[in-house]
Amino acid sequence: MDQRLAELRDTAPAVPDRIPISLVVNGVEKRMEVAAWTTLLDLLRNTLDLPGTKKGCDHGQCGACTVLVDGRRINSCLTLAVMKDGCEVTTIEGLATGDVLHPMQQAFVDHDAYQCGYCTPGQICSAVGLISEGQARTREEIRDLMSGNICRCGAYPNIIAAIEGVLGGTAPAQAKEDPA
Amino acid sequence: MRAFSYSRAESVADALKGVVGHGETKVVAGGTNLLDLMKADVMRPTRLVDITRLPLNRIEETAEGGLRLGALVTNADTAHDERVRSRYPMLSRAILAGASAQLRNMATNGGNLLQRTRCYYFYDTGTPCNKREPGSGCGAIGGVNRIHAILGASEHCIATHPSDMCVALAALAAEIRVTGPRGERTIPFEAFHRLPGDAPQIDTNLAPDEIVTAIDLPARGFAAHSTYLKVRDRQSYAFALVSVAAALEIEDGKVTAARLALGGVAHKPWRDQAAEEALVGRPADAGSFAVAAEAVLRDARGFGHNDFKIDLARRAILRALQDAAASETP
């Protein structure tokens, strides 16, 4: 039996080596070794201790995992970490400046643009990407260009209002203007 | 996801070397479809070759007056490119009708051509599927088949091709540039995707050791009179039940050239050249367009739940051609 087990052990496929990569995550350079099949989402949440990015469907259908890579919004669940070697990643944890919220975060607070909050980090990162893409001008265009972010609570009207506010520069008072 | 090994190609030659002789190797770029299918255990490559660093990420003018879309240009960058927008508005519109903004930021032009069907039986490894497991049968025939094909299907497979972009590319008569160990070649768009026949596991005529390098758009973009109409279960971020790319050239109220392609109805983007030719010389009006719609659907056949698509397609063709005739700029 021992010999049979030894033979079986020898026929097992070799587990591929972990691959060294470096990423700039929220402005900080991170060097690590990853398995090829580790998604950017799992790397952020499980290895880099950044659980703000959420795993919803894990199939690119819900948008909860949306982060910015080199400034563009993508689904981190359908992204292999190893393929983003050398890239800059911004997550919900990286948007605020110290205690001052990013204008989009502040707009979500001001417009009460969430209920349970699970989709919110993805919604906010997606909305930041939408603004920098510069393709949305009308409410209808915002709705279409935010369709990759699902909100099961149905907070869409306030989410759209928050984004519209930032887009039009009419967001309610920003945190930085608050003397308190 | 099952374990696999990974390598990054530094050149096209490097990528081809990586693909040759490795049956279970897949090329990966945007990853939006392949990684999803790997998570679902539908595709099980043991090796991925990352081609994202190859110099195939430009949109360039061709000598013939058209545009060459690099295989690695993202769907978003293609749709928003000013040259594509102004000269091929139907293509821009089709791309933007597909997926979500995040996915379009990831997905590449080459990958869009090679995406696989969204048939639920293909995705469900607990059911038979000739595309996933040749010889196992088709779960959709006699099963739930609301989203399935009404044209060109076979007794082995009634899946549809899910792309929006490809429907516009079919109507534009684009050409696919590929390269492999036997050198470069160009595949006319219509010859790129296959009908299922008795080998539905083979989606395209791209050889397993070749990669797509670019999509060439001919000079003729039908910018004045064209549209892409997509009918789906929700207004955004859903696959087409039926879609229509319609393009016309009109002089003195008469059609001088026509292009008509459908999505969501067949195993490949469905262009009907006979229907296009029948439009030429006729007045650009609803009567002519209705005749064209009938011609496209003369052999259409439903499988139960998708019977509605035949009528839906007829109406969508009529409306798309009317919209195209009316449009001056998108």
For residue B234, the number of C-alpha atoms closer than 13 Å in the C-beta half-sphere is 10
Question: Would the ipTM clear 0.85, i.e. be above it?
Answer: yes
Nearest CA to B269 out of B132, B122, B171 is that of B171
Instruction: Please give the pLDDT value at position B21.
Output: 59
Ordered structural domains, chain A, with CATH = 19-94 (3.10.20.30), 103-171 (1.10.150.120)
Strand order in the sheet with B25-28: B5-8, B47-50, B25-28
Please check the confidence at residue A6 and state whether its pLDDT lies above 90: no
Q: Specify the range with the lowest mean pLDDT, choosing from A1-15, A22-36, B42-56.
A: A1-15
What's the token pair of residue B274?
């006979």
Q: Region A155-160: what's the mean pLDDT?
A: 98
CA distance B25 to B303: 35
Q: Please enumerate in sequence order all residues whose Cβ is within 8 A of that of B193, keeping only pairs 6 or more positions apart, or say none.
A: B113, B161, B166, B203, B204, B205, B267, B268, B269
Please check the confidence at residue A173 and state whether its pLDDT lies above 50: no
Look at B185 and A8; give whichever has higher pLDDT: B185
Instruction: Please give the pLDDT value at position A7.
Output: 76
Q: How many contacts, defined by CB atoms under 8 Å, are there between A and B?
A: 88
Element (H, E) at A8: helix A2-11
C-alpha distance from B57 to closest chain A C-alpha (Å): 16
**Three-state DSSP class for B171?**
helix
Q: Would you say B112 and B192 are in contact if contact means Cβ atoms under 8 Å apart?
A: no
- Contact criterion met (CB < 8 Å) for B50 and A72: no
Alpha helices, DSSP H, located in chain B: 12-19, 34-39, 75-80, 82-87, 89-96, 101-106, 109-114, 120-123, 165-172, 189-192, 273-279, 286-296, 308-326
A129: chain B residues, CB-CB within 8 Å: 101-102, 105
C-alpha distance from A78 to closest chain B C-alpha (Å): 6
Nearest CA to A44 out of A15, A69, A16 is that of A69
Q: Please enumerate in sequence order all residues whose Cβ is within 8 A of that of A121, keeping only pairs 6 or more positions apart, or say none.
A: A52, A53, A54, A64, A66, A91, A92
Cβ–Cβ contacts within 10 Å for residue B144, how many?
14
CA distance B104 to A73: 10
pLDDT band at A2 (very low <50, low <70, confident <90, very high): confident
pLDDT band at A178 (very low <50, low <70, confident <90, very high): very low
B101: chain A residues, CB-CB within 8 Å: 73, 126, 129-130, 133, 145-148
Helix/strand/coil (H/E/C) assignment for every residue in B191-239: HHECCCCCCCCCCECCCCCCEEEEEEECCCCCCCCEEEEEECCCCCCCC
Q: Please enumerate in sequence order all residues whose Cβ is within 8 A of that of B82, keeping only pairs 6 or more positions apart, or say none.
A: none
Of all residues in chain B, the one with the smallest CA distance to A131 is: B101
Please check the confidence at residue A14 and state whether its pLDDT lies above 70: no
Tokens 């026929």 label which residue? A11
Please check the confidence at residue A12 and state whether its pLDDT lies above 70: no
Going from N- to C-terminal start, the domains of chain B cover: 5-48, 226-326
Q: Please enumerate in sequence order all residues whose Cβ is within 8 A of that of B227, keeping only pairs 6 or more positions apart, or say none.
A: B90, B93, B245, B246, B247, B320, B323, B324, B327, B330
Closest CB to A74 among B1, B39, B106: B106
Q: Does domain B226-326 have CATH number 3.30.390.50?
A: yes
Q: Would you say B246 and B288 are in contact if contact means Cβ atoms under 8 Å apart?
A: no
Closest CB to A37 among B3, B50, B76: B3
User: Which burial class, exposed, middle or buried, applies to B176 when counting CB atoms under 10 A from its CB (0-12, 13-18, 19+)?
Assistant: buried
Element (H, E) at B179: strand B175-180
For residue B23, the number of C-alpha atoms closer than 13 Å in the C-beta half-sphere is 0
Is A44 an 8 Å CB contact of chain B? no
- Contact criterion met (CB < 8 Å) for B102 and A83: no
The string of pLDDT tens digits covering residues A30-64 is 999 999 999 999 999 999 999 999 999 999 999 99
CA distance B224 to B290: 21
For residue B48, the number of C-alpha atoms closer than 13 Å in the C-beta half-sphere is 24
CA distance B317 to B243: 8
What's the token pair of residue A86?
């050398």
Is A37 an 8 Å CB contact of chain B? yes
Instruction: Please give the pLDDT value at position A13.
Output: 61
Mean pLDDT rounded to a whole number for chain A: 92
- One-character DSSP codes across A19-68: EEEEEEETTEEEEEEE-TT-BHHHIIIIIS--TTS--SSSSSSS-TTEEE
Strand partners, A152: none
List residues of chain B with CB under 8 Å from any CB of chain A.
1-6, 28, 31-32, 35-36, 39-40, 48, 50, 52, 76, 80, 99-103, 105-106, 235-237
CA distance B197 to A144: 37
A130: chain B residues, CB-CB within 8 Å: 101
CA distance A18 to A36: 7
The string of pLDDT tens digits covering residues B249-293 is 999 999 999 999 999 999 999 999 999 999 999 999 999 999 999
- Contact criterion met (CB < 8 Å) for B235 and A16: no
Cβ–Cβ contacts within 10 Å for residue B276, how many?
22
Element (H, E) at A88: strand A88-90
A37: chain B residues, CB-CB within 8 Å: 1-4
Q: Can you give the length of chain B in residues?
A: 330
Q: Region B40-55: what's the mean pLDDT?
A: 96
- Contact criterion met (CB < 8 Å) for B103 and A143: no
Instruction: Please give the pLDDT value at position B22.
Output: 57
CA distance B6 to A74: 21
CA distance B302 to B11: 46
Q: Please enumerate in sequence order all residues whose Cβ is within 8 A of that of A126, keeping only pairs 6 or more positions apart, or say none.
A: A63, A66, A73, A146, A148, A149, B101, B102
The string of pLDDT tens digits covering residues B78-114 is 999 999 999 999 999 999 999 999 999 999 999 999 9
